[in-house]
Amino acid sequence: MILGAGGIVQDAHLPAYRRLGLDVRGIFDIDIAKARAVAQRFGIETVYESAEKALGQRDVVHDCALPPQAIEETLARLPRGAAVLIQKPLGVDLASATRLRALARERGLRAAMNFQLRFSPQMLELAERIRRGELGELLELEVRVVCRMPWELWPFLRALPRLEILVHSIHYLDLLRHLAGDPRRVHARCVKHPSVPELAATRTSAILDYGGHLRCTLSIHHHHEHGPSHEASELRVEGTRGAAVAVMGVNLDYPRGRPDRLELVERGGAWREIALRGNWFTEAFEGPISNLQRFVTGEDAQLVSPIEDGWRTMRLVEALYESDAQGGHALPPDPEAA
């Protein structure tokens, strides 16, 4: 059951579900005309004209592809014990995420977060090699994005007081938590861009402090207007035994994107490219829905991205925004200044 007929459903969810051969029971959107158009395009037989009918369906997985402001009301109206896949973010801030977590517990919902980057072919491969110790002790985790993101595709973003970290870099933060666990402290600075004054900050510099030898940074710039030659969208990983670079092609010429890539090297060896079965967009969208369905039927013992873990990612998001609000430390005064 699809709840929401926006761009992400059309560009990623439904193409992935079609590839899996899933039976989509129906679709609902407050814009009925949009829901009907999407249903016709993807061969969905039923378009629900009321939220009550759509949310009342049983024996289905509810794919909640809605803006964060709409998630709480939606979860509250689902049948008790329902299975639901929740589009990130988990609410608009940590307080709302905490309410959503409590609501899911109280209603016994089998709830998973749609954090797909964990499930992308390259990141599955990378995570497994890290788990096996092939890269050794992690020393460097660096996310660098320099691209032109068409924010105009998502009009609802104009109403959000928080934007870049909450709806975009949250993917990288969730992945970094998946690979390295929760950091001890964070530091962040978020900056608006004059080309989109109606939007909240869309550029981010962040440091995740893990202590020890691991350095972890994010440098995110969504307003590169100078052609593709020096665009970037990558995760760089270095360890004591090897290194990897994962290119996330979807950010480069979004939404068409370019192919993902994963290159690995062992200490003293040569870099080699790993063959991948597809990309973050859209193959990664096969993972969350498949894991949730298998969990419901007892085939999977646990959810890879349960709502409880989604709350911890939101806690990291909140910490970064709090760090930005604190403004860092000013330079000490020059005692010789006039």
Whether 122 and 262 share a structural domain: yes
Is residue 315 one of the residues assigned to a domain? no
Quote the CA–CA distance of 75 and 13 in Å, as a whole number.
20
230, 264, 281: which is the final residue of a domain? 281
Number of domains composing the chain: 2
Instruction: Name the residue range of residue 180's domain.
Output: 118-281
Is residue 57 one of the residues assigned to a domain? yes
Is residue 151 one of the residues assigned to a domain? yes
pLDDT at 224: 97
H or E element: which one contains 143? strand 138-146
Whether 8 and 93 share a structural domain: yes
Question: What CATH number should be reported for the domain holding residue 134?
Answer: 3.30.360.10
Whether 147 and 224 share a structural domain: yes
- Three-class secondary structure assignment of 43-57: CCCCECCCHHHHHCC
CA distances from residue 126 to 106, 120, 247, 272, 282 in whole angstroms, order as listed = 36, 10, 12, 13, 18
Contacts of 147 (CB under 8 A, 6+ apart): 221, 222, 224, 231, 232, 233, 251, 252, 254
264, 281, 298: which is the final residue of a domain? 281
pLDDT at 338: 64
Question: What CATH number should be reported for the domain holding residue 42?
Answer: 3.40.50.720
Whether 182 and 197 share a structural domain: yes
Helices (H), the chain: 7-8, 14-20, 32-42, 51-55, 71-77, 94-106, 121-131, 170-180, 286-297, 307-326
Is residue 324 one of the residues assigned to a domain? no
Whether 112 and 124 share a structural domain: no
CA dihedral 154, 155, 160, 161 (to 10 degrees): 100
Look up residue 96 and give its two tokens: 């709302």
Whether 79 and 161 share a structural domain: no
Whether 221 and 84 share a structural domain: no
pLDDT at 90: 97
Is residue 86 one of the residues assigned to a domain? yes
Whether 136 and 264 share a structural domain: yes
Sign of the C-alpha dihedral computed for residues 230, 167, 118 and 19 taken in this order: negative
CA distances from residue 46 to 43, 51, 53, 61, 197 in whole angstroms, order as listed = 9, 13, 11, 15, 40
Is residue 311 one of the residues assigned to a domain? no
Is residue 139 one of the residues assigned to a domain? yes
247, 265, 281: which is the final residue of a domain? 281
* Each residue's pLDDT expressed in tens, for the chain with a length of 338 residues: 999 999 999 999 999 999 999 999 999 999 999 999 999 999 999 999 999 999 999 999 999 999 999 999 999 999 999 999 999 999 999 999 999 999 999 999 999 999 999 999 999 999 999 999 999 999 999 999 999 999 998 888 999 999 999 999 999 999 999 999 999 999 999 999 999 999 999 999 999 999 999 999 999 999 999 999 999 999 999 999 999 999 999 999 988 899 999 999 999 999 999 999 999 999 999 999 999 999 999 999 999 999 999 999 999 999 999 999 999 888 889 999 86
pLDDT at 11: 92
Whether 152 and 191 share a structural domain: yes
Location of structure tokens 């498949």:
290
Whether 108 and 129 share a structural domain: no
Is residue 41 one of the residues assigned to a domain? yes
Angle at which helix 170-180 crosses helix 307-326, to 10 degrees, equals: 110
pLDDT at 125: 98
DSSP structural state of residue 168: I
pLDDT at 164: 98
Whether 223 and 199 share a structural domain: yes
Quote the CA–CA distance of 200 and 154 in Å, as a whole number.
13
pLDDT at 168: 97
Whether 133 and 275 share a structural domain: yes
